[in-house]
Amino acid sequence: MGESSGRLSNFEMALVVFICAGIGFFVYLGMQWTAGTIQNGDDSLLVNTAKSTAIVNSNYGHECMIADCPSHSGGTCSHHYEDGYYAYFDKVSKKFVGEKMSGYNEGEVMEVDGVEYKGDYHTMIIEVTILPNADPTARWIGGK
């Protein structure tokens, strides 16, 4: 700024570069934080979807949640758990299945009803259990 030629000195140019790099770094940190927040939100919404689907599919815990379960046609249900039922939620079809599939969690730390579950990306799935006339419970477990 001391020069009258209108050009930046080397010191001023270095300051501009460092300021731009600092701004870029903080923008990067903000984007990382936003991505993490969105991933945790996706996992929470998926748990809510699984619980709601369990209530509807199981007639509030009186039937198996899995649509093609033999119990719907008079057969024996292999998904019976104590007095209720359990199943694994398929993220793609938004249906319950009896066999574990590959993991689909978006975040590394998932929370369900105040309980934290930890796992690497795409290694965990949602297991839902429901008893007659009770709210379903969900938890994150290891996938296939």
> Of the given ranges (26-30, 79-83, 94-98), which has the lowest mean pLDDT?
79-83
Residue 70's pLDDT band (cuts 50, 70, 90): confident
Of residues 31, 33, 43, 34, the one with CA closest to residue 106 = 43
Q: How confident is the model at residue 127 (pLDDT cuts 50, 70, 90)?
A: very high
Query: Which sequence spans correspond to the domains of the chain?
Result: 10-142
- Quick check: 67 pLDDT over 70? yes
Percent of the chain past pLDDT 90, that is, above it, reads 30
pTM score: 0.70
**Looking at residue 38, what is its pLDDT?**
66
